[in-house]
Structure 1
Amino acid sequence: MRNILLLLTIFIISSCKTDLDLQPISSVTTDNFFANSNDFVQGTNAIYNDLLKYPDRCYNLSETRSDNLYAVSDGGVRDWEGVNDFYNDLSTNAYMSEAWVTNYNGIFRANLVLQNLAERGSLVTDTVLRTRLQAEARFLRAFFYFDLVRLFGKVPLVDKTVLAAAAANIGRSPVSDIYSLIISDLKYAADHLPATNGTTSTADTYAAADRGRPTKYAAKGILALVYMTRSAPTYSIDGPGLGLNEWQQAADLLNEIINSNNYAFLSSFTDIFSYTNEYNKEVVYNIDYTSGASPSVGASYPGILVPDTYFSAISKNTQGGLTIRPVSTNLLNSFETGDVRKAFTIQTGYTNTNGQVETRSFLKKYVDITKVPTVTQDWAINFIVLRYTDVLMLKAECVLHGAAGSQTADVDAIVNKVRTRAGLTANKVNVTLAELMEERRKEFAAEGSRWHDLIRSGLITSIIPAWIATEDVQNKIQPFTTNYIIYPVPKSQLDIAPGLYTQNNGYN
C-alpha cells in the first residue's frame, strides 16, 4: 500500500465523469492545491476516476468466478482462466493487483478531500456545497472499501492520509472494523446527499450538470447491500459474511427507496440498457462514461465481454476482448423458452472471418453493435451499479430471511413481475431462496452480481461443487473450498513490507 499512497504526491486530475466539468491540472502539489471552492470540486471529481474499471472488475472477478461462465482458454494462458478455475497461485494475477491498487487509490483521494475539508473547508463558502462534497467523498470511500472487503476480506483500514513510512506499518484490520467505517460513511452520505437531479442545485437536488453523482438513495441502496452481506454465513473464513441478522435493517432501507417514488420498474427489459435511454427510472446508481473525449473516458467493459473475432466478423474494430470466455452450459440451459433476457444477454455462436463456426456463446449485455467505437474501449454507455429491479429482488431476499412482509404477497409478486417482463408466465408461488437466486441469475447475468449473490445466500457451497461436477468437461477447474470465496492478497503488496500481511488461507 505504500506504493498506493505515493501515487498522488502530484495531484493530476482526470475522471470518468465528463458530466462533472473537469479541468485537468498538473504540477500542483496536494499541499497547496485546495485554495477555493472550485479546487475542492475538482478534488472530489478526481475520486470518481477510480471507478473507471469497476465494471471490468465485476466481469473479471464475479462473473468469471461464478457458474455463469466456463472460462477455460482456447489458446495461451489468460488472467481470467485462473480465476474461473480456482487456482491457488492467484497472488501474482494482474486482476488482484488492479482491484487492490485502484480501490486504495480511490480511498486515498477521498481521504485527501476529507482531510482538506476538515482543515480548510471554510474556503468552500457555500455550506450546502461543502456538505455535499464531504458526503460524496464518504460515499465513494465506502464504495471502495466495500469492494475490497467482498474481494479480500480483511484489508488495511486507512481513514486519513498518511505518509509512506507510516503506511508500511498498517496491517490488515478485522472485517468488522472495515464495515464500521463503511456503515458510518454511507449513513452520512444518505443523510446529506441530494435526493434527485433537477435544473438547479439545492441541498436536496443536483443541478442537471451534476447528473451521475450518487444520491441519498444510492447510499441507502449500497448500505442495504452492506447489511445483507454482513448477514451472510462466515464460512469459517475472514470474509465478507459475519453471520449477522440484519435483514430488517436492509429491508427498511430498500423500502425507503421504493416509497420515494423516484424510481420505476421499466416495462421493457432491453430499454434498461439502451444507449438512448441512460438515466432511466430503473437507475438508482450508475457509473458514467462518454466516448470521444481525450484522454478517453469511455467504457471498456462492453468490449471485453466480446471476443475480438466476433467484432472482426461483423466488420467492427476489435476492442481487446481477445479470445472467448464461454457462457456455461448450465446458465444457457437455465433460461426458459421465450425468455427475452437470453437473446439480449447472450450471443449464441457466430461465424468468424475464416468461415469457422463458433458454437460457444458469450455475454453481450451492454453491447450494441451499432455503437461499437472506432477508438478501442471507448464505449458511450453507463454501467448500472444498482437498479430498481435489484432493489425489489433484494427486498424479497430480506423477506425470505425474516424481514417484515409476507412471502406469498411480497416475494411471489416481485418474482412474477420480473418474469412477466421477461416474457414468461407469472406462475411462481411460495418462492424459495434458491428459486429467487436462480431468477436473479438470469436477470442480472453480466452485471457482476452472481458470485456475491452465491456467497450472500449461503448457496455457494452446494451450487459451485455441483456445477463443477457437471460443467467441467475438460477437467480444468480445481476443487472448490470456502477459502476461495475471497481472493489472495496481491504478492506485490506482501513484498512491500514482508511479514506485515498474512496471505489468505488456501493461496500460495
Structure 2
Amino acid sequence: MKQLKYIALLLTAVSVVTSCSSDYLEPVPDSGITADAYFNNANEVETGVIAIYDAWQGVNDNDLSNNHSVQYEFYLTEMRSDNTRTKSQEGEAAQFEFYNVEATNGIVGNYYASMYSVIFRSNIVLENLGVVTDANLAASFEAEAKFNRALAYFNLVRLYGDVPLVDKVITPLDTETQYTRVATSTIYDLIVSDLTTAIDGLDNTYKTRASRAAAQGILAKVQLTLGNYSEAQSLCEAVMASGFSLQPNFNDIFYNERNSEIIFAIGYESALSSDSQNFSAEWMNGVGRTAGVNYVTDDVITALTDFGGDRTQYSFRNDPSQTSQNQVTKYLPNGEDGGADGKTFVNDATLAGNDWIVLRYADVLLMHAEAILAGGNETTDAAALASFQMVRDRAGLPTTVTIITKDALLLERRVELAFENQRLFDLIRFGRAEAVLSAFSAANGLGYTTSDLLLPIPQREINLSKGAMSQNPGY
C-alpha cells in the first residue's frame, strides 16, 4: 500500500464521481476515460484496490473540501466522549466537546463524505472484477473491497444512524439511492455479508491492507454491537488462534509499527505529504493545521492514574508549555518528544508517518471477554478471565482477577484503548453512554442530551437532496 504509488488517473477519471468531497455523485465528467475503459487487467484492478486505502489515509492539508477520513475521526469519537476536549474551548472543534454540534459543521460533513469515498472506490473495484482472469485473485480483490466497504459503513451507521445504502456504482441521476436513508438493520445486513465474504477470501499477509484476522475482528465488534455474543466469541477465538501476540512494552505498539499486536492499521509515511498525516501534530501545542485539539480530560487522567499501570506514562503527558494542560502521547509525531516547548520537532511534525491503528490484539482479547460476558453484569468464566488477565499483566497490574464485571471491563477498555477512538462506541455498546456522558456533562458544564449520541446528517446533503433527506432528532 504505502510502497505503491496511487494512480491519480483512477482517482480523477474512472467515473463521473471522483470523491464525495465535491457534491457526491454530482460532478460533470471532465475526462473521456471511464472505469470501463481504464480497467483491463488484474494489475489495473489492483490500482483500484490501492486507491481505497488512499481514501482511508485522507488528504494531509487544511482544505475542508478535501477528504480527511481517519485524520479527522478523533473529533467525532474521542472528543464526544469523556476522554478528550479542545485546549481553548473555541471554534468549530469545540462543538464536539460541548455537545452543540451543528449540521453545518465542516468536520461532520467531511468525515461523512470521506466514508462514502471509501465506499465508492470499493464499489468501483467490485464492478470491474470481471477483467481479472485469475479466480483466486478476483476473490481476493472482492474480499478487500468488501472489507473496506463494510468498515466504512460500520463507522457511518454508528455515527449517523440511518444512512444511504450505496452498494454499487450509481449515476449522478440516481438521487433516490443517494439521498434515501436506509434503516440501520439493513446497513448491518450488508456489513455482515461483506465481512463474511472478506473472511472467506483473505489471508493474513497484510497489516495495512485487509486481512482475514482484520475481517474477523471487525465482524466480532459488529456482532457485539448487534448482541450476537456467541458469534462474536467464535470470531475472537479465530483471531486468537492466528498467531498475534501482545507487545511486551506498551509503548512499542505505537512506535514499532506493524508489530505482532497490530491486526489492521491505516499506513502512513513521514515527510511526503501524499502519504503522511497531520493529526498527531494537531494534538500538540502550536504545530499542525490547528493546535490544541484532542487534549486529555481530567476524568480520563484519573482513570489512567488509578487503573492504567504501565500504560499511564505512555498515554498522556503535561503540555511542556502549559503544564495545567495534558496532551496525548500515543501518537507523538514520528515518536519525537517535541522538545521542552512541546512544538520543536527535528522533522516536520505536520508530515508525520505514524500509522493509525484500527484494530489490535489487546482489543480482540477484551472483546473475547465481552462476548463471554454476553451482556450480563459479571462472569467468572476461565476463558474470559484468561483474556482479560493477559491485558492487565502486560500493564504490570499485580492483581489476579477472579471475576469480571461489566463496569470493570468497560474501564479496562478505557485505559487500554484511550485516545484510539473506541471510547464513545464502547459506552454505547455497553449501554452506559447515557449515564456516563450525562454525569460528565453535568460535572463540566457541557450540554449533553440523549440525541447527541448521533451526529447530524450534514446540512449540505439535506440541501442537495432538496429536502428529501431527513435530519436526525435534535438538530
TM range (shorter): 0.7 to 0.9
Distance 2:157 2:46 in 1: 28
Are positions 1:450 and 2:465 aligned together? no
Check 1:325–1:133 CA distance in 2 against 1; reply closer, same or farther (3 A cut). Answer: closer
SS at match of 2:209: coil
- Report the AA paired with residue 115 of structure 2: N
For residues 373 and 254 of structure 1, the distance between their equivalents in structure 2, rounded to whole angstroms, comes to 41
User: Cα offset for 1:402?
Assistant: 6.1
CA–CA distance in structure 2, aligned partners of residues 93 and 64 of structure 1: 14
Q: Which residue is 1:56 aligned to? A: 71
Question: What number of residue pairs does the alignment pair up?
Answer: 433
SS in 2 for 1:348: strand
Verify: 1:285 aligned to 2:264, yes or no.
Answer: yes
- 1:369 is aligned to 336
Tell whether 2:223 aligns with 1:227: yes
Per-residue deviation, 1:328: 1.3
Counterparts of 1:135-284 in structure 2, within 5 Å, are 135-168=143-176, 170-196=179-205, 212-231=208-227, 246-260=228-242, 262-274=243-255, 277-284=256-263
Structure 2 residue corresponding to 1:346, chosen from 316, 332, 335: 316
Deviates most, 461-470 or 152-161: 461-470
Give the whole-Å Cα distance in 1 for the aligned partners of 2:294 and 2:6: 36
Q: TM-score, normalised by structure 2?
A: 0.86
The yes-or-no answer on 1:491 pairing with 2:459 is: yes
SS in 2 for 1:102: helix
Specify the code of the residue in structure 2 equivalent to 1:269.
Answer: F
Equivalent position of 2:115 in the other structure: 103
* Structure 1 match to 2:106: 94
Aligned residue type for 1:361: N
Report deviation, 1:216.
0.8
- Asked whether the 8 Å contact 1:67–1:328 carries over to 2, the reply is yes
Q: Counterpart of 2:60?
A: none
Distance 2:362 2:276 in 1: 26
Structure-2 separation of matches of 1:296 and 1:50: 11
Contact 2:74 2:294 in 1 (8 A): no
Q: Provide structure 1 residue ranges, at least 5 long, that are not aligned to the other structure.
A: 1-16, 198-210, 232-245, 309-317, 352-356
- TM-superposed deviation, 1:417: 2.5
Aligned counterparts of 2:425 and 2:135: Cα–Cα separation in 1:
38
- 1:191 is displaced (CA, Å) by 0.3
Conserved? CA contact 1:217–1:284, under 8 Å? yes
Q: Secondary structure at the match of 1:165?
A: coil
* Equivalent pair of 2:379/2:405 in contact (CA under 8 Å): no
Q: Distance in 2 between matches of 1:59 and 1:22?
A: 25
Counterpart CA distance in 1 for 2:208 and 2:464 is 36
Distance 2:430 2:315 in 1: 23
How far residue 143 of structure 1 moved from its aligned partner, in angstroms, is: 1.0
Paired letter, 2:201: H
Q: Is the 8 A contact 2:270 2:276 kept in 1?
A: yes
1:339 Cα deviation after fit = 2.1
> Which residue does the alignment assign to 2:399?
426
The percent identity for this pair of structures is 32
Flag structure 2 segments of 5+ consecutive residues without an equivalent.
13-30, 58-67, 339-344
Corresponding letter in the other structure for 1:101: A
Shift, 1:72, TM fit: 6.2
Distance of 1:376 and 1:348 partners within structure 2: 18
Is the counterpart of residue 506 in structure 1 residue 471 in structure 2? no
Indicate if the aligned counterparts of 2:69 and 2:115 stay in contact, CA closer than 8 A: no
Name the CA distance, whole Å, in 2 between partners of 1:333 and 1:344: 15
The SS at the match of 1:395 is helix
Relative to structure 1, the CA distance from residue 375 to residue 101 in structure 2 (aligned partners, 3 Å threshold; closer, same or farther) is same
Mean alpha-carbon deviation: is it higher for 380-389 or for 409-418?
Answer: 409-418
Q: 1:499 to 1:159 in 2, by over 3 A?
A: same
Post-superposition Cα deviations, 1:280-327, rounded to whole Å, max 9, x if no partner, equal 11011111111233x52112221122221xxxxxxxxx2234235431
Question: Shift of residue 252 of structure 1?
Answer: 0.7
